[in-house]
Amino acid sequence: MPLNIEKQMKAQLSDDILNALKLCSQTADEHDFKIYLIGGIVRDLILKRKSIDIDITVEGDAIKFCHILAQKDCCKIIQVQNDLKTAKAVFNGGVEIDFASTRQEFYPHRGHLPVVVKIGCSLQEDVYRRDFTINALAMSLNKKNYGDVIDYTGGIKDLNNKKIRVLHNNSFNEDPSRILRALKFAARFNFQRDKHTKALQEKYINTQMHDDISWTRIKSELKQCFSLNSAKVYDMFVANENYKLIYGQKPEIKGLEIKTLIDKYNPYHVWLVYLGTILSNKKIIEHFCFTRSEKKIFTDIEYLVNNHLSMMNSNYDVYKFFEKKSTESILVYYLLTQRKEALKYLENLSLIRVELKGDEIKALGIENGREIGRILKEILKKKLNGSIINKNDEIEFVRNKIK
Ligand code: ATP
């Protein structure tokens, strides 16, 4: 008897979602389609965890199926991708569902994106393109066996045993980003990689590495892993030697130290503080196609690490050293060098500003632009060492200068 999870669905999914799934189910039966919930949502239902994405796979043409649903006013199609025959639709209550046609994929070049060899294949052929057994589970949505879990790869057993297992020996060669997916799921569910999967991963990391791979996938998975702001993920990333994937050196830092700083200083790009402690290979940084603000973090890290902050520095020197550098890069600099000035800058010095504006200094009687610049610098120095506190002090300083 297959495992049936209709009860779990009723317990875990909202009425709007259940109604949307029922509409899909009825339509599939009326028009002779076989459709299934697939991947993460089935895994999460069995684990009794909340799932965010709802994915349905259609044995056949998912776009055609969606058009039938839309014609019956069950949903609105909001996105269609013709080459893969996928579609996204929104149902009552704002429920969004991704529909994919079953497909078979093939990796002509190791580590690159796959090419689709067949669309509308059997469900069994579709699940074998997936990453782990726990993500290769499907649940029938047709009335005859509504809620039955279809498990071609032993995913239910692995869920019960808390194991992450690849579907075949070539899995990491095909797509090394799966190494990071394994890390994400291991941390999220407190699962372990099974022995064989661990060995395949170690073999890939220690013998098969090549930088001609899909960095888009690696970047996306790194972002997901490190955005969790989890000390455990970072420590596992280091312990499993995953840093070798991005040609990093083994860091001596503990995840908890990074997390504590992040929680205190709230940088915008949390994931890049973790990544910044590991990623320094210029070629790989280029591969990541970072956005401008992301790129600045790595340029700043490089500047801070490669330029000297002398031991006998005044507050002004410290201020100038870190001025205009991103919080993320200052945190990484601190983690790599343990220079306390970095935290002093973030906590105190960065908040200090000269309040007088150039025009106001002019109004006080100093005309020369250069002289104004010099005075602003002097005021800043004095504010940084505490001999000028507020705007009145600044005005008095300028008046004394004039005298
Ligand atoms: P999450 O809860 O993080 O969204 P998920 O399993 O739903 O987890 P997705 O990235 O949304 O993850 O992927 C949906 C499904 O697509 C997965 O469950 C898996 O079956 C398949 N999949 C995703 N990425 C890969 C990959 N790199 N290689 C093989 N299959 C993948």
Residue that finishes a domain, picked among 130, 161, 192: 161
Residue 175 CB less than 6 A away from ligand 1: yes
The verdict on 193 and 333 lying in the same domain is: yes
Question: Between the CA of residue 335 and those of 245, 284, 302, 339, what are the distances in Å?
Answer: 21, 21, 14, 8
Q: What is the pLDDT of residue 208?
A: 74
The verdict on 216 and 338 lying in the same domain is: yes
Q: What is the pLDDT of residue 311?
A: 66
Q: What is the pLDDT of residue 50?
A: 92
What separation in Å is there between the alpha carbon of 135 and the centre of ligand 1?
7
Residue 258 within a domain: yes
Q: Whose CA is nearest to atom 17 of ligand 1?
A: 39
Q: Collect all residues with Cβ–Cβ distance below 8 Å to 296 and sequence separation of at least 6.
A: 326, 329
Range with lowest mean pLDDT among 78-92, 103-117, 290-304: 103-117
What separation in Å is there between the alpha carbon of 133 and the centre of ligand 1?
11
| Domain of residue 308, CATH code | 1.10.3090.10
Residue 1 within a domain: no
What separation in Å is there between the alpha carbon of 17 and the centre of ligand 1?
20
Report strand pairing: 55-59 vs 163-164.
Answer: unpaired
Give the number of the atom of ligand 1 that is nearest the alpha carbon of residue 184: 3
Residue 111 CB less than 6 A away from ligand 1: no
Q: What is the DSSP string of 74-99?
A: SEEEEEEETTTTEEEEEEGGGEEEEE
Q: Whose CA is nearest to atom 7 of ligand 1?
A: 40
Question: Between the CA of residue 282 and those of 54, 60, 115, 141, what are the distances in Å?
Answer: 38, 45, 29, 49
Give the number of the atom of ligand 1 that is nearest the alpha carbon of residue 178: 27
Q: What is the pLDDT of residue 253?
A: 96
What separation in Å is there between the alpha carbon of 296 and the centre of ligand 1?
30
Across the range 268-295, mean pLDDT stands at: 94
The verdict on 85 and 115 lying in the same domain is: yes
The verdict on 253 and 338 lying in the same domain is: yes
Residue 103 CB less than 6 A away from ligand 1: no
pLDDT band at 77 (very low <50, low <70, confident <90, very high): very high
Across the range 325-336, mean pLDDT stands at: 97
Residue that finishes a domain, picked among 350, 371, 386: 350
Phi, psi at 89, each rounded to 5°: -135, 155
Residue 399 has pLDDT above 80, yes or no: yes
In the chain, how long is the greatest CA-to-CA distance?
96
Residue 169 within a domain: no
* Cβ neighbours, 10 Å, residue 367: 8
Residue 131 CB less than 6 A away from ligand 1: yes
Residue 40 CB less than 6 A away from ligand 1: yes
- What percent of the chain is modeled with pLDDT above 70? 100
Residue 194 CB less than 6 A away from ligand 1: no
Q: Whose CA is nearest to atom 30 of ligand 1?
A: 130
Q: Whose CA is nearest to atom 16 of ligand 1?
A: 39
d(CA 122, CA 119): 9
Amino acid at 59: E
The verdict on 76 and 184 lying in the same domain is: no
Residue 226 has pLDDT above 90, yes or no: yes
User: What is the domain range of residue 233?
Assistant: 174-350
Residue that finishes a domain, picked among 102, 131, 161: 161
Residue 176 CB less than 6 A away from ligand 1: no
Please give the tally of structural domains in the chain. 3
Residue 315 CB less than 6 A away from ligand 1: no
- What percent of the chain is modeled with pLDDT above 90? 84
The verdict on 149 and 222 lying in the same domain is: no
Across the range 186-206, mean pLDDT stands at: 95
Residue 178 CB less than 6 A away from ligand 1: yes
Beta strand spans in 148-272 (E): 149-150, 163-164, 192-193
What separation in Å is there between the alpha carbon of 39 and the centre of ligand 1?
7
Residue 403 has pLDDT above 80, yes or no: no
pLDDT in tens, 292-324: 999 999 999 999 999 987 766 789 999 999 999
Q: Whose CA is nearest to atom 2 of ligand 1?
A: 40
Residue 248 CB less than 6 A away from ligand 1: no
The number of angstroms, rounded, from the C-alpha of 146 to the middle of its chain's C-alpha atoms is 34
d(CA 169, CA 200): 7
Residue 167 within a domain: no
What does DSSP assign to residue 146?
T
Give the number of the atom of ligand 1 that is nearest the alpha carbon of residue 175: 27
Does this model's pTM top 0.75?
yes
